[in-house]
Amino acid sequence: MGQFARTVYGEYNEYHNSLDNKDFVQIESLVESTNTIEKVLQTFEYAGYYSNQKPYGEPMMSKRNLYPTINDPEETREDLVQIMMRVLNYSDGDYSAIDIAELYDMSVGEMKLAIEQLCRTGLLEPREHTPKYRKNI
């Protein structure tokens, strides 16, 4: 259970009364709130643990059409390949997508497309997290 709110309950006079109408509400605030809620929900959706299905060596990404081509309309496609490699590198079931995002100073939302494409091609699978004992040597 949760609640999204722009202000704390009772902090403004218009809260839950007849003054709280469409003249008071700004469309820009609604758009901003909607975008923020979408980012939060995407983070929850993709923030789990994943398992690299081809962990030994670099996977054959070209046969899965994961490398950019000269005619690729997506400007950020080369960045996407780098994100895919990072996700695959740490997807051993011990690192969540949040952990990986923090390692590379990015958001889970920035990794969303990479995770979707890797799962679609069978290189990555969601999994339940079962913590392993890591021995410090």
pLDDT, tens only, 28-77:
888 999 999 988 888 888 889 999 998 888 788 878 888 766 665 654 56
Instruction: Say how far apart CA 41 and CA 63 lie, in whole Å.
Output: 32
What digits encode the pLDDT tens for the residues 5-23?
777 777 777 777 777 777 7
Does residue 54 sit in the same domain as residue 106? yes
Closest CA relative to residue 20, chosen from 6, 36, 34: 6
Domain carrying residue 72: 48-127
Task: Indicate the pLDDT class of residue 137, thresholds 50, 70 and 90.
Answer: very low
State residue 95 phi and psi, 5-degree precision: -110, 130
Does residue 34 sit in the same domain as residue 4? yes
pTM over 0.75: no
Does residue 55 sit in the same domain as residue 122? yes
Closest CA relative to residue 87, chosen from 114, 68, 121, 65: 114
Instruction: Say how far apart CA 29 and CA 135 lie, in whole Å.
Output: 49
Does residue 15 sit in the same domain as residue 68? no
CATH of the domain at 82: 1.10.10.10
Instruction: Say how far apart CA 72 and CA 116 lie, in whole Å.
Output: 18
The tally of domains found in the chain comes to 2
Residue 136 lies in a domain: no
27: Cα separation from own chain's centroid: 26
Does residue 111 sit in the same domain as residue 67? yes
Does residue 15 sit in the same domain as residue 57? no
